[in-house]
A = this chain, B = another copy of it.
Amino acid sequence: MDPHHNSAQWRRLRSTPGPDYRIFSLRYDEMENPRNGHRETMIVLESPDSVNVVAVTTAGEVLFVRQYRFGTGSYTLELPGGVVDPGEDHGAAARRELEEETGYSGDLWHYLGVVASNPVFMNNYIHHWYVEGVSLGAQQKLDPSEAVEVVAMPVDEVYRRWLAGEFEHPHTVNALLRYFAMVKLS
């Protein structure tokens, strides 16, 4: 955002690949600060884009997935979602991830927008999708390393919990903002 900025630009003097850790790979960028000419090597995590989905059932409930997260070592409630496969469109990834993680699907899809995963040191983005009137039509198809419980929550309760700060994953918070901005706050 905010296209106007100083004419002095950060210069990337060198970029070197680092180790590949499956969910991301490291890159080292040697950068020169336009303010003072200071040079420093910055680490960037390269990851594919991801998606998450606000899926509202025919009964007016939002679908969440409850799973153990290895980073925080705790169970979280998050919107369904996951990583966009190589060559896959992020809209297709949203349909696939919703069905794999929950067994639900639907036809009325709307794009809600995007947020950076973490602009400080990650290069990827999270695309938010909304789908209306989903219903259960299939079994979960989980990876061997996943254990996911589906939780359906009435929209009013989702809004109350969102306002109360109960959702722990910032990408879930942002997708719900895009959804409530559309259906409730505008």
| B-binding residues in A (CB < 8 A) | 1-2, 5-6, 10, 21-23, 26, 29, 31, 33-36, 38, 40, 42-45, 66, 68-78, 112-123, 126, 142, 144-147, 149, 151, 161-171, 173-174, 177-178, 181, 185-186
Interface residue from B2, B35, B123, B169 paired with A71 (Cβ < 8 Å): B123
Nearest residue, chain B, Cβ from A29: B70
> Do A2 and B75 touch across chains, with their CB atoms under 8 A apart?
yes
A40, B145: Cβ atoms closer than 8 Å: yes
Nearest to A121 among chain B residues (CB) is B71
Asked if A123 contacts B40 (CB within 8 A), the reply is no
Q: What's the Cα separation between A144 and B41 when bound, in Å? A: 12
User: A114 CA to B122 CA in the complex, in Å?
Assistant: 21
Q: Give CA–CA (A159, B74) in the complex, Å.
A: 32
List the B side residues contacting A112 at CB < 8 Å. 165
Chain B neighbourhood of A121, CB < 8 A: 23, 70-71
Partner of A169 from the list B6, B36, B118, B151 (CB cut-off 8 Å) is: B118
